[in-house]
């Protein structure tokens, strides 16, 4: 069993807090993605788990064993660094064998394990090459083989796909997920890319300013962001400030009008209505009753292949983004800048989120 538990783990650099009171339980065989913007503490968290950074406070355990004070080589973890960190003067096979030599594994045994690890990442024929003779994706796979060859209890990946092009990134993230599942490896995957987190993780930890903002299965976090930061980071640009009405059936925008809510948990105090651009429809006539509607004007219209995006000025506060199907694909005729419109949506499409 290699369940990883972080209990109130923090890292301070002088007065600066890189990670604040992080408590997280990663189940045996689970893949957890740490997701968040630059500087939110993802790498610091990963390095504390690996032992490269000492926690200022808190405890870390693996499989019930407290590893908080142990150096990296006594934690039996495999780590892939963002920049691969391969040794340029060593061959692929020597790079992969490095961790085994450190562990005093016999030469014959090491040779066999290196061959197996390279085969697993489909680089069986590349053992004698130097890293510079490989493509970026192949180098990334060498780094993965090097992390796996020691048969780690835990696999730690720090933005492992960030230097790859889109196609290779897609292929590699599927490969990593398959390997992780077939080996049943407890894995922490750091990324700032929500698609990567979405398509690989069992659970996602959204981090913000050194703390945990939200934890859950990706579909749940995407579908129900709990804070304005989470909603914005997960790609919902429309966040309209206001408050629930006392009967909890409506939302009064700070800027004036009130709309209806449906299926939203109660939130006391200032909150935001998060609206996905795809949920908003536009019409030049008032919409049917039952829809929430705001009167406004098209400010900017831009084409995006199969969609047309509108920036709208309404009386509910900040500019509103709406994304409609392009006319050539069955969407309505384009509404040029300056057109007076109604922006409308189904009450259940609005997600109510906390300010913090
Ligand atoms: N050795 C250090 N000394 C001082 N501050 C540090 C040190 N390492 C990290 N920090 C600070 O801690 C915070 C978290 O850094 P960290 O590298 O964990 O962020 P990150 O989420 O991995 O960001 P990125 O997505 O850019 O890699 C940042 O504000 C950073 O400047
Ligand atoms: Mg980082």
The tens digit of pLDDT for each residue in 155-207 reads 999 998 887 788 888 888 998 999 899 999 999 999 989 889 998 999 999 99
Any atom of ligand 1 within 6 Å of the Cβ of 39: yes
Which regions of the chain carry the CATH code 2.40.50.100?
228-354
Q: What angle do CA 342, 348, 353 make, to 5 degrees?
A: 100
Above 80 in pLDDT, residue 32?
A: yes
> Could you tell me the end-to-end alpha-carbon distance of the chain, in angstroms, rounded to an integer?
36
Average confidence (pLDDT) over 116-137: 92
Q: Does ligand 1 have an atom closer than 6 angstroms to the CB of 224? A: no
Q: How far is the CA of 231 from the centre of ligand 2 (A)?
A: 22
Considering the segment(s) 4-223 as one domain, its CATH architecture is: 3-Layer(aba) Sandwich (3.40)
* Ligand 1 center–CA 16 separation, angstroms: 10
Instruction: Give strand pairing partners of 231.
Output: none
- Across the range 121-150, mean pLDDT stands at 92
Query: Is the separation of the CB atoms in 236 and 223 below 8 Å?
Result: no
Tell me the C-alpha distance between 240 and 319, whole Å. Answer: 9
Separation CA 20–CA 37 (nearest Å): 16
CA neighbours closer than 13 Å in the CB half-sphere of residue 5 = 10
Closest ligand, as measured to the CA of 38: 1
Residue 345 or 84, more confident = 345
In the CATH hierarchy, which fold is given to the domain comprising 228-354?
OB fold (Dihydrolipoamide Acetyltransferase, E2P) (2.40.50)
What order of strands is seen across the sheet that includes strand 65-66? 16-26, 4-13, 57-62, 65-66
Confidence class of residue 122 from pLDDT cuts 50, 70 and 90? Answer: confident
Q: Which residues pair with 307 in a beta bridge?
A: 304, 325
Closest-CA residue, ligand 1 atom 18, reads 41
The rounded distance, in Å, linking the Cα atoms of 209 and 207 is 7
Q: How many other C-beta atoms are found inside a 10 Å radius of the C-beta of residue 232?
A: 16
CA 336 – CA 47 distance, rounded (Å): 52
Residue 16's DSSP bridge partners are 13
Determine the pLDDT at residue 229: 95
Render 281-296 in DSSP notation, one character per residue: EEESSPPPTTSEEEEE
- The set of residues, in sequence order, having a beta carbon less than 8 Å from that of 150 and lying 6+ positions away, is 76, 78, 99, 100, 103
Using a 10 angstrom Cβ sphere, with 0-12 exposed, 13-18 middle and 19 or more buried, the burial of residue 257 is: middle
Could you tell me where in the chain the CATH 3.40.50.300 domains are found? 4-223
Q: Residue 13: CB within 6 Å of ligand 1?
A: yes
pLDDT at 343 > cutoff 80: yes
246: its two tokens? 């006392």
Q: What is the mean pLDDT of residues 42-54?
A: 96
């Amino acid at each position: 069993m290699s369940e990883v538990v972080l209990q109130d783990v923090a890292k301070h650099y002088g007065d600066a807090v890189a990670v604040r009171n992080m408590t997280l339980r990663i189940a045996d065989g689970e893949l957890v993605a740490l997701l968040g913007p630059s500087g939110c503490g993802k790498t610091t968290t990963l390095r504390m788990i690996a032992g490269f950074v000492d926690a200022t406070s808190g405890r870390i355990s693996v499989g019930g064993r407290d590893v908080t004070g142990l150096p990296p080589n006594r934690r039996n973890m495999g780590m892939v660094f963002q920049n691969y960190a391969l040794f340029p003067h060593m061959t692929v096979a020597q790079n992969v064998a490095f961790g085994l030599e450190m562990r005093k594994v016999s030469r014959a045994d090491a040779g066999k394990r290196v061959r197996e690890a390279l085969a697993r990442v489909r680089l069986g024929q590349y053992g004698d090459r130097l890293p510079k003779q490989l493509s970026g994706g192949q180098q990334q796979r060498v780094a993965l083989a090097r992390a796996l060859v020691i048969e780690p209890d835990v696999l730690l990946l720090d933005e492992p796909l960030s230097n790859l092009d889109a196609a290779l990134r897609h292929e590699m993230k599927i490969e990593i997920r398959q390997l992780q599942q077939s080996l049943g490896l407890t894995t922490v995957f750091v990324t700032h890319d929500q698609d990567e987190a979405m398509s690989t993780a069992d659970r996602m930890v959204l981090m913000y300013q050194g703390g945990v903002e939200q934890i859950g299965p990706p579909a749940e976090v995407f579908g129900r962001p709990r804070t304005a930061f989470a909603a914005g980071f997960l790609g919902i640009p429309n966040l309209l400030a206001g408050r629930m009405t006392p009967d909890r059936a409506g939302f009064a925008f700070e800027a004036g009008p009130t709309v209806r809510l449906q299926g939203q948990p109660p939130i006391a105090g200032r909150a935001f209505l998060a609206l996905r651009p795809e949920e908003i429809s536009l019409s030049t006539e008032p919409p049917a009753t039952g829809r929430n509607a705001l009167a406004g004007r098209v400010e900017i219209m831009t084409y995006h292949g199969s969609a047309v995006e509108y920036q709208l000025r309404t009386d509910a506060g900040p500019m509103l983004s709406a994304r409609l199907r392009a006319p050539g694909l069955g969407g309505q005729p384009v509404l040029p800048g300056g057109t007076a419109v109604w922006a409308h949506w189904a009450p259940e499409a609005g997600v109510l989120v906390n300010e913090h």
